[in-house]
Chains A and B, each alone.
Chain A
């Protein structure tokens, strides 16, 4: 993926037209049960969900039980995978399994924070743009275009450089990635609101004297929840990619902290000799991202069933 986190939105998001987004709008409570059912029947989606959950649970439990294992030096340097060290040890004797699992946690931690930020900012911006339309919309969208002129990665490199030396830099990383990831949620929410705005129930609410904020929060946002959730999932995957790329460049999570991208960078030159230093971190990174993607795609198809066009 050339621009991690960016391109997949173009692919995932249903084209911005009324019919498509209306298909995703949930009309009644009963639909959630249907959505769940469709998701559960989707093999690919369930595989993704199970894998992701497994990764999460295993990493969490392991790091809880062995909180310092990821930094524990030993003399058992560059050892190949064995029963004692499932994924071998690195050049300073640290167990790779511990490092990998800690890396998984770090990545997920950052990604979820990013997604939360992206959803909050994006929904706000998109809602305002879509609801008020006209000049406000124009202004906000020009602003979004402006942000997107420079590749996200490039801006991140610049910003990450500033925060690289700060303490708790994972938090700062999440903040800077989040501050650039909200544009897709914004576009989506805006499209949804632009079409919902014309619907009768909005007119009716306004006629009854409901304030703008009430209409937005009570009537329109709930209808956009489906696509927002899908987008949030995809943002999580995209954030993992961005963060691991930054770590690979040395601008992300810094040692002695661990991240999968960092591990890959450390292991890249030994890929042919000590393969476990490269292959396993890469495999876990891949597994993590792909599983989140599968979940996101599964949610998307569960929310927008392509029914056969059975005409009368």
Chain B
């Protein structure tokens, strides 16, 4: 069994706020193996971005972090800035969500890429320049030679995001964290950026953690998928497992809510009723229970643990789900769990 590149073990992150502690991440464990793309899916507030930021050590000072993050055998949590700088950019890199604000406006693009190169390598001026051009070409920036001295505001959003990818790849990291890399972009540009990402992965052999709320993005790239809700991983498995055999009602809801090309266009969108829970304080039971059409008594009393739902003897990676009724959920056809008429669903009692 191959060694994972990155191991997140029981990560907990909470923020002190005026109204109480916000539990953003409540015990997340994930592993990332070589040459794979792990998709992390969830709504806003599910804790997926916070998890990535915690791994990179980029959270604000008021974040309380517990658990462990292992990269190349070293513990990352608790390291100071200077110690983290050894890994950042070299062993693990991150791509952020908003390309319009991710690049420093006062330096040209070439300077910013060279800075990334200089952080971990010792290259001559000519080598730096050549490498910068190569990186820009790799992510698909046309006329790289002439554009290398342009400033970020002279690029479109999609191109800026590609520059960000180039910066992330500058020192060939083994692990890349991409936090909603296409969310802020138009659909057509999204495709271009995802292509650039795919191209980059093929050339470098790096592993990618792709965080998004967009299932379409996952479908194109991910080999494994983890679904997050209310700060925890509630289902994890191969892409096939998740898309074809979802074992957690929430996953059903996510899949069912995507409008399909072959719909007759007459029905309403199937939404998951209700809203994500407030992350302040801890409440008993499964956090999805108030919105879950399969909930029973036990669901409001005890929070289900992740347990294996794939058949015993099935090849790794295993398919796991956190649901008291996972086996039944897995048996239900996709799209059947949440009706498209809100009248069928009685309002859950407010917890």
Contacts and interface: CB of A to CB of B under 8 A. Distances in A.
State if A and B touch, Cβ cutoff 8 Å. Answer: yes
Contact of B47 (A305, A308, A309, A312): A312
A310 B50 contact: yes
A312 B46 CA distance: 5
Contact of B22 (A38, A305, A310, A312): A310
Contact of A308 (B46, B49, B60, B213): B60
In terms of DSSP, what is the predominant structure of the interface of chain B? loop
A38 B47 CA distance: 27
Contacts, number: 28
A307 B60 CA distance: 11
A91 B152 CA distance: 69
B17 interface: yes
A38 B46 CA distance: 28
Interface in A29-45: 38
B277 to A, nearest CB: 13
A45 to B, nearest CB: 15
A295 B15 CA distance: 28
A312 B52 CA distance: 10
B43 A311 contact: no
Nearest to B50: A311
A65 B120 CA distance: 78
Interface string B24-67: 10000000000000000011111111100100000010100000
Contacts of B213: 312
Contact of B48 (A38, A309, A312): A312
Nearest to A307: B17
Contact of B45 (A305, A308, A312): A312
B144 to A, nearest CB: 32
Contacts of A309: 60
Interface residues of A, number: 8
A255 to B, nearest CB: 51
B227 to A, nearest CB: 13
A310 B22 CA distance: 9
Contacts of A308: 15, 17, 22, 60, 62
A312 B50 contact: yes
Contacts of B17: 307-308
Contacts of B18: 38, 305
Contacts of B45: 312
A308 B97 CA distance: 17
B49 A312 contact: yes
A312 B44 CA distance: 5
Interface in A286-312: 305, 307-312
A250 B235 CA distance: 78
Most chain B CB inside 10 Å of its own CB: which residue of A38, A305, A310, A312 = A312
Interface in A253-312: 305, 307-312
A311 B97 CA distance: 11
Contacts of A310: 15, 22, 24, 50
A239 to B, nearest CB: 33
A38 B19 CA distance: 11
Contacts of A312: 42-50, 213
A311 B53 contact: yes
Nearest to B62: A308
A167 B49 CA distance: 67
A97 B235 CA distance: 75
B25 to A, nearest CB: 10
Contacts of A307: 17
9 contacts: A38-B18, A307-B17, A308-B17, A310-B50, A311-B49, A311-B53, A312-B43, A312-B46, A312-B49
Given A308-B17, A311-B97, 10 more contacts: A38-B18, A308-B62, A310-B15, A310-B22, A310-B24, A311-B49, A312-B45, A312-B47, A312-B48, A312-B213
